[in-house]
């Protein structure tokens, strides 16, 4: 019986390691691809990542982890306009993109903060 238990433990340890290594990688400032959803973190007066790529019908979530309030709005030239309102620290807002295209957005309170959503 002890040898059977040993074999189970020997088999489960590599399996647990393989599952753990499949977790999310660290976030970068480069484009991020996702089919159904994507999250943009607002921190240090910046959007991270500043460009996300999603499929049509996907929801993008902006989560404010900054001390400052922020206000995510679409660029005036975008085909679809959105204004997600003022977001205090800890507030999360989202928008579902239903049509393919490139959508620029910025922070209404800090115009230097800009990002892009690419919808395929």
CA separation for the pair 87, 92 (Å, rounded): 7
CA separation for the pair 38, 4 (Å, rounded): 44
Task: Give per-residue pLDDT as tens, 16-67.
Answer: 333 333 333 334 445 544 568 999 999 999 999 999 999 999 999 999 999 9
In the chain, what are the domain boundaries? 26-119
**Cα–Cα nearest to 73, from 54, 49, 57, 93:** 93
Domain 26-119 is of which CATH architecture? Sandwich (2.60)
Task: Give per-residue pLDDT as tens, 68-113.
Answer: 999 999 998 887 789 999 999 999 999 999 999 999 999 999 999 9
Stated pTM of the model: 0.70
Q: What pLDDT was estimated at residue 31? A: 52
Q: What pLDDT was estimated at residue 79? A: 76
Neighbours of 65 (CB within 10 A): 13
């Amino acid at each position: 019986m002890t040898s059977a238990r040993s074999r189970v433990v020997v088999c489960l340890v590599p399996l647990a390691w393989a599952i753990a290594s499949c977790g999310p990688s660290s976030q970068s400032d480069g484009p991020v691809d996702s089919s159904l959803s994507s999250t943009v973190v607002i921190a240090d007066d910046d959007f991270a990542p500043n460009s996300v790529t999603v499929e049509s019908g996907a929801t993008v979530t902006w989560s404010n982890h900054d001390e400052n309030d922020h206000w995510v709005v679409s660029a005036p030239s975008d085909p679809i306009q959105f204004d997600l309102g003022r977001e205090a620290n800890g507030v999360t807002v989202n928008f579902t993109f239903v049509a393919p295209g490139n959508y620029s957005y910025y922070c209404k309170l800090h115009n230097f903060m800009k990002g892009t959503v690419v919808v395929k």
